[in-house]
Structure 1
Amino acid sequence: MHLLKEELRHIFTNRKIRVPIIALLFIPVLYSGMFLWAFWDPYAHMDDLPVVIVNEDKGASFEGEHLALGDELVDKLKDSDNFKFDFKSKKDAYKGLKNQDYYLLVEIPDNFSENATTLMDDEPKKLDLVYVPNESYNFLASQIGETAMEKIKASLSEKVTETYADTIFSKITDMADGIGQASDGAGKLSDGSNELKDGTATLHEKLAELASKSIEFKEGMYTANNGSKELASGLNTLNQGLAELGKGHSTLTSLTGDLAAGSQGLADGVSAAKAGIDQINGNMPALKNGAASVEAGAKSLSENLAQFQQGMQSVNAGMTQFKNSMNDVIAQMPPEKQKEVLTLFASLDQLSKSSVELSNGANKLHGGAEQLNKGQEQLAAGIGQLATRTPELEAGAGKLAKGVKDFQAGMKTYDQKFAEAQNGANKLVTGAGTLSGGLNQLADGTDKITSGAGQLEEGAKKIADGTKEVSDGSKELADKLSEGADEATSVHADDKTFNMMASPVKVKNEKINEVPNYGTGFAPYFISLGLFVGALLLSIVFPLKEPAAIPRNAWNWFTSKFTILSAIGIVQGLIAAAVLILGLGLEVKNIPLFLLFVIATSITFVALIQFFVTAFGDPGRFIAILILIFQLTTSAGTFPLEVIPGFLQHFNAFLPMTYTVQGFKAVISSGDYSVMWHNLFILIGFMAIFMIGSLGYFKLMHKRQFKTLVQD
């Protein structure tokens, strides 16, 4: 106690020490109070920060209305108190920025409004605002300006979105009408799709029938093809029969000539007989010779008629075969052609009958000639009768000659008809070949038709299934369009709706442990800084090592110095706390605990300074300054610890200011007193370490300097 009284007496009696100490009592409040006062709430004075605005916007037309976003922005800025706005031309504005009349410049380009109308374009353009800060004039002002520009950008975005929202909702109204019309059209589409569904079902049914019939058609074509081949074969046979008929016809023609010559000779002979009958009785030798001639002529006629009969038999056989082969052909001929052919066949039948009768007559004539030759005696006997019957014989011979001539005329007609029949048969053979070839191709085509009909049936089935889905989908489309039209027409937009679309998200800032201003946020940092600087300056004006009297022991020496230093430090802290609370209006969660933590902080810093300065003198004071510098950068009092270099982050846990800042934050802002107490105990640990260090130094020095004096 004696040494402490001497220290106090020395302070109060020595003006050189007393006055500086009194001044030092206000050092912490000057540091913390002045800094916090200066930056207590800088955003409250933004209206004094000069900012120049350049409006080059020319405006634009949008949906038939004039859009002038640049002018609207200028009007808003004029009503705003964010900055001290000044509105200049581009030339004057940039000149003022360069002369440091303004901290920053905001330029609204000439295409500002025009770009706002390009939202629906293929390549929409953003609205550019040119932000030009003069960072060399004041860097923080440019940073504050960027924050303000974000607010301006958000406000402009909201305005542009409101404009588009207004347009969109008007389009929605138009769209509702269009959707209604689309709904009606979809209803018609649904009806049409139902009809299409029915039609495709019918199509599928008919195509199935087509596929079935195509198979029957295919089988019929195969039958027709085979029939055409048989027809071609029959026509070839007919053609061959006609060739044989032609040969028989030539023989018949030749025999007809002989018959004509014979009949004419017969007529001449009858005439001669009539002329010479009267001479027969007197000229029997001549009659005998004439009878022999008659016998020879009859024999020749009989032989020729036999050949003629053979030819006619061949003709009859050919005609029979020709008629049989021509039955199917004749059935397909036109009626007029059928009549001609049937007439020809009737003539041929009559000719055949006549040839038979002629042949029989020739045979009888031959037999009669023989009887004439044998019964010439009887002739002589009956010559009288013959003379009376000669006129009748002459008339019969005339009729025979005439009949033969008619037969020759009929043969000429037969020649013409036969040539036509043969020509027609040739054409039929050629046509039958063409028909057979065409039917072959048609038969091949029917295979493809049958295959295609099957594919068509399958495709029709798929179409039928698809049209059912179309029908169902079109009905659903009609229903949904109707619902959409109802919903679209139920939209009623106003300015509140446009504003909600323009700014749909409202950030509700629910702060935890709200810090009202910059001053409150920085108070833990500046209070710690002020108390440390106060303790450091105290080491300059107050002797930390030299005692006011001879100390009895090291403890007495240490406690006298530490008590004085702690008392001054406590007073410094209390003055600073009082000014901050009463003068600046600093709000703390708990005033007693706040004052307790101020005292603990001040004593900790006093103990630190006492140790280094007492033990090392001026180098120790330099060490204390280095510690202060490291504390300012690593205590996380301004920027978060994570954003400083990693190397510096390692010092954070080993410096006391780290814990003073955390403790002040707890007792001022968060109210988490457990954190405060935790940091307080750590500070007490720092305090004890430095106190023990100082006490150890005083023990060492006391042994060296004052042990002998105290013993004496």
Structure 2
Amino acid sequence: MKQNLLKAELSSIFKNRMKLISILAIIFIPILYAGIYLWAFWDPYGHLEKLPVAVVNEDSGAEMNGEKLEVGKDLVDNLKESKEFDFQFVDRKAGYRDLENQKYYMLIEIPKDFSENATTLLDDNPKKLDLKYVSNPGFNFISSQIGNSAVEKIKEGVGKEVTETYAKSVFENISEMASGLEDASTGAKDLSDGTDKVNKGSQEVYKNLKTLAGKSIEFTDGVNAANSGAKEVLTGAESLSSGLGQLQDGQKDLSSAASQLKEGDSSILAGITSAKDGAEKLEGSIPALINGTDKLQAGSATLTSGLQEWSSNSKALADGASQLNAGAKQVQDTVNSILPMLEGLPDDKKQELEAALQSLVDGSGNIAANTQALQQGADQLAQGGQSLSAGLTDLSAGSKQLQAGAQQLADGSAELEAGSKKQVAGQEQFIAGMSKYETEFAKAASGSNELVTGMNSLLSGMNQLSTGSAALSDGTSKLEAGSKDLADGTSSLSDGSKELSEKLADGANDASSIHSDDKTYDMMAAPITVSDEKVSEVPNYGTGLAPYFISLGLFVGALMLSIVFSFNEPEGVPKNGLRWFLSKSVILAGVGILQALVASFVLIVVLDMEVQSIPLFILFTIIASLVFFSIIQFFVTILGNPGRFIVVILLIFQLTTSGGTFPLELIPDFMQHVHALLPMSYSVAGLRSVISTGDFTFMWHNAGILALYPIFFITGTIIYFTFAYRRQFTEAAAE
């Protein structure tokens, strides 16, 4: 009787027009849910040019590097060309008023200081460009979210434009910096050449001072020897003077008492002999004195020549040091003028460079001052050397005169001795020549006194000369040490200036090698491009939401059929519970298949939705529809209206946990655990695979899970019909 019961069910449908119309209408329920909604919002982002957005430009502009900067105006010009929204350019008052009156969905305000803030990038406290975005989520929440994305794109565009402006300025400064570095390199080269000359001069000065120091030591030794000889000469002259004084007194006695002369002849002869010895000693010391003075004169001439040469070299050294100081200051000024342009150079490196340049200027200034003082001292030493040479010349002449006088004295003493001997031999001859002897003896006494006086003056001068020569030796030793330090310093300075010149030249070459154009500015403004690659393509909003709304439509269609068609009341007397189940299930399955076919046709043909496989899409849609019918049949057949309520609750949970709109990870944890228990989770995942990703293995995986639900719910429904048949028909017949 299975066929008869099914025929009775179909006959009741076709004979009752309202029921037939209702069932036919229900067949279109899924497409009303899925088709109309998806059609209405198939590609809403493709029509954003119809969305009115107010733009208020309050920017007053600014000036940067001598050029007018109007970032707000440039932004407005770009928005006028943009088709992203229906931009309306209004004043501030009208914009905010119409936004509140829901004429605009959002408002973009460009503040007054927009361009001015763009010029503060290199300031100590740079300011960001504040682009104001005002939305009205109460008017339409989705539009405000779309506006957020749009403003981000606008912000990126403005940031790119501002960065391009700064990039152009930076590269222009780099070109200027390259020119400045070239000038600095040339100045450093001149400085290096100057320091080389100073270094060579200081080395020559050091050599001359070293020679001078050695000669000054020899000079001091000669002066000390001459001083010692002069003291010995003075001692002999004093002895001679004393002896002559005694002889002169004796002569006076002889004049007054000639009678006593004979008795004193022996004493006179002894005194004359002593005088002769002193004269010979004096005569022997004179050549050493003359030789010493000659050496002193020769050393003085050498010293004077060396001092004059050193004075000339020290003047050249002072001039070179002054040029060095001027060149160092020029380098400092040049480098300081280009330091603000070195934006990539760290602050600590700038400070080290400034400190090094200041040390270079200070050191060259000290060298200039010291070499000037050195020149003055060299001039004074040269003048003193000339005076010393003249004095030694006079001393040499006096020594020669002294030698002649000593020779005469020695000769006179010899003659006196001979005369004394003759006097001893003949007193009478002595008395006869006494007058002449007395006269000559007075001259000798006078000469000896003059000799003592001269020797005292000579000894005083020699003492002063000895002191001066010691000071000269000490000074030349210090000058030698100082000139060595100067030579070492100028050598280091020369090396440093060469290195500075080379580094500046390298920097100028590196800076000159940098070339820029619009492509360079664009790369600096937007150095990163995002390559948008997709594992699977979803062409529009409607295609992305189709799995969700197809599942929803099929489920709601099955639920609404339970209202117009009885899931448990038979149109006849069933033969058993299984046939009773089949008579209902065949009709439900037929409606479910028709729902799936109609929905697939409209989506593919009418809405032109792209799917990866049309046959598999239709097959999976039918599977999902039959699974939903089996679940709803179970609850409605067994529980009636309470079952429908349970189905509605089940639908609500499926709408929130299926992941059809937002990702599963964004919903509450409890809902995430429920997700795996509900069939719509698998219908949405399977439809995505067959529509967008083309992962048919995953589609069949979800189809297999969906197939488990009918096994449970169909078995439960059959059991229900079996017991219902026994209770309703078998027990009733037995009564």
Q: Secondary structure at the match of 1:85?
A: strand
2:15 is equivalent to residue 23 of structure 1: no
Structure 1 residue matching 2:536: 3-state secondary structure: coil
**Residues 635 and 325 of structure 1: is their aligned pair in 2 closer, same or farther, counting only changes over 3 Å?**
same
Residue 588 and residue 214 in structure 1: after superposition, are their counterparts in 2 closer, same or farther (change >3 A)?
same
Partner of 2:353: none
Q: Secondary structure at the match of 1:53?
A: strand
1: CA distance, partners of 2:508 / 2:157: 42
Aligned-partner Cα distance in 2 for 1:90–1:606: 58
Confirm whether residue 562 of structure 1 aligns to residue 553 of structure 2: no
2:635 aligned partner, one-letter code: F
Partner of 1:34: 36
10-19 or 608-617: bigger deviation: 10-19
Question: How far apart in 2 are the matches of 1:511 and 1:602?
Answer: 30
Cα separation, 2, equivalents of 1:224 and 1:67: 81
Distance 1:581 1:226, change over 3 A: same
Name the residue aligned to 1:97: 99
CA spacing shift, 1:615–1:80, aligned 2, 3 Å = same
Q: What amino acid does structure 2 have at the position aligned with 1:337?
A: G
Change (3 A) 1:501 1:262: closer
Taking structure 1 as reference, are residues 330 and 354 closer, same or farther at Cα in structure 2, changes over 3 Å only?
farther
Question: How much has 1:577 moved relative to structure 2?
Answer: 2.6
Equivalent of 2:275 in 309, 312, 317:
312
CA deviation map 1:553-585 (0-9, x unaligned): 221122222222222222222232333334333
Q: Aligned pair 1:336/2:397, yes or no?
A: yes
Alpha-carbon deviation of 1:93? 1.7
Instruction: Return the letter of the residue paired with 1:175.
Output: S
SS in 1 for 2:108: strand
- Note closer, same or farther for the CA distance 1:119–1:337 as it changes in structure 2 (3 Å cut): same
- In structure 2, distance between residues paired with 1:400 and 1:552: 203
Match of 1:590 in 2: 613
SS of the equivalent of 1:305 reads helix
* Structure 1 residue 28: Cα displacement: 1.6
Counterpart residue identity of residue 147, structure 2: G
- Structure 2 alignment gaps of length 5 or more: 297-391
From the superposition, tell whether residues 223 and 424 of structure 1 become closer, same or farther in structure 2 (CA, over 3 Å).
closer
Partner of 1:522: 545
Give the conservation status (yes or no) of the 8 Å contact 2:110–2:132.
Answer: yes
| 1:461-514: CA deviation from partner (whole Å, max 9, x where unpaired) | 877877887787788678767xx46x84xx7x57x8876776676656454432
Equivalent residue number for residue 299 of structure 1? 262
The 1-side partners of 2:64 and 2:192 are apart by 45
Which amino acid in the other structure matches residue 578 of structure 1?
A: F
Query: Which of 231, 235, 244 does residue 239 from structure 1 map onto?
Result: 231
| Counterpart AA for 1:614 | T
Tell me if 1:419 matches 2:462.
no
| Pair 1:338–1:109, CA change in 2 (3 A) | same
- CA distance, structure 2, for counterparts of residue 601 and residue 255 of structure 1: 164
- In 2: Cα distance, 1:640 partner to 1:24 partner: 31
Q: Is the 8 A contact 2:236 2:282 kept in 1?
A: no
1:70 aligns with 2:33: no
1:532 is matched with 555
CA contact (8 A) 2:286 2:402 kept: no
Q: Provide the C-alpha distance between the structure 2 equivalents of 1:239 and 1:217, rounded to a whole number of angstroms.
A: 28
Which residue of structure 2 lines up, in the alignment, with residue 129 of structure 1?
A: 131
Quote how far apart the aligned CAs of 1:415 are. Answer: 0.9
From 141, 166, 178, the equivalent of 1:139 is 141
2:629 to 606, 610, 620: 606
Report Cα offsets for 1:151-205 as digits up to 9, x if no partner. 3334434544565667677x49x939x858976986x6898699689869x949x
The AA in structure 2 aligned to 1:692 is T
AA of the residue aligned to 1:417: L
Distance in 2, Cα, partners of 1:434 & 1:175: 64
Q: How does 1:472-483 map to 2 (within 5 A)?
A: none
TM-score (norm 1): 0.76
- Which stretch shifts more, 663-672 or 7-16? 7-16
Distance 1:681 1:229, change over 3 A: same
How far did residue 671 of structure 1 move? 3.0
Match in the other structure for 1:109: 111
| Mapped partners of 1:197, 1:632: distance in 2 | 88
**What does 1:9-408 align with in structure 2 at a 5 Å threshold?**
9-14=11-16, 17-62=19-64, 66-119=68-121, 123-160=125-162, 171=172, 175=175, 203=200, 207=203, 234-235=228-229, 239=231, 242-243=234-235, 245-263=237-255, 294=259, 297-309=260-272, 311-313=274-276, 315-316=278-279, 318-320=281-283, 322-323=285-286, 326-331=289-294, 332=296, 333=392, 334=394, 335-366=396-427, 400-408=434-442
**Which protein has the larger Cα radius of gyration, Structure 1 or Structure 2?**
1
Q: How many residues align?
A: 635
Alignment pair present for 1:630 and 2:691: no
Write out per-residue CA displacement over residues 105-125 of structure 1, whole angstroms, 9 at most, x where no aligned residue.
Answer: 111112223334445555554
Rounded Cα–Cα distance in structure 1 between residues aligned with 2:278 and 2:67: 111
Q: Deviations over 1:398-444 (max 9, x none)?
A: 864244134214412321222221342354356436645764x4696
Q: Provide the C-alpha distance between the structure 1 equivalents of 2:529 and 2:268, rounded to a whole number of angstroms.
A: 136
Q: Is the 8 A contact 1:51 1:86 kept in 2?
A: yes
Contact 2:272–2:413 (CA under 8 A) maintained in structure 1: no
TM-superposed CA distance for 1:526, in Å, is: 0.3
* Paired residues of 1:652 and 1:658 also in contact (CA < 8 A): yes
Within the alignment, does 1:651 sit opposite 2:674 as a pair? yes
Per-residue deviation, 1:602? 0.8
Q: Say which is worse superposed, 654-663 or 570-579, in terms of deviation.
A: 570-579
5+ unaligned residues in a row in structure 1: which ranges?
267-293, 369-392
The answer as to whether partners of 2:206 and 2:480 remain within 8 angstroms in 1 is no
Residue of structure 2 equivalent to 1:689: 712
Alignment-derived partner of residue 432 in structure 1: 466
Structure 1 residues 711 and 603, CA, compared in 2 at 3 Å: closer, same or farther? farther
SS in 1 for 2:93: helix
Secondary structure of the corresponding residue to residue 633 of structure 1: helix
Q: Give the TM-score normalised by structure 2.
A: 0.74
Distance 1:121 1:474, change over 3 A: closer
Partner deviation per Cα, 1:644-700 (whole Å, 9 max, x = no partner): 333322233222111111221222223333332222222222222221222233334
Equivalent position of 2:687 in the other structure: 664
Amino acid at match of 2:279: N
Q: Which amino acid aligns with 1:302?
A: D
The amino acid across from 1:139 in the alignment is: F
**Contact between 1:222 and 1:443, CA under 8 Å: does it hold in 2?**
no
1:92-136 deviation digits (Å, cap 9, x = unpaired): 221222232322111111222333444555555443221000112
Deviation at 1:530, TM superposition (A): 0.9
Shift of 1:624: 2.3
CA distance in 2 between partners of 1:64 and 1:312 (Å): 107
**Residue 690 to residue 230, structure 1, CA distance change in 2 (3 Å):** farther
Specify the code of the residue in structure 2 equivalent to 1:363: V
1:502–1:442 CA distance, 2 compared to 1 (3 A) = closer
Query: What code does the residue aligned with 1:672 have?
Result: D
C-alpha offsets along residues 604-641 of structure 1, whole Å, 9 cap, x if unaligned?
A: 00111122233344443333223222221222211222
Compared CA separation, residues 479 and 512, structure 1 to 2 (3 A): closer
Distance 1:476 1:155 in 2: 37
Partner of 1:388: none
Letter in 2 for 1:658: S
CA contact (8 A) 1:193 1:474 kept: no
Q: Percent identity?
A: 38
How far 1:330 sits from its partner (Å)?
4.5
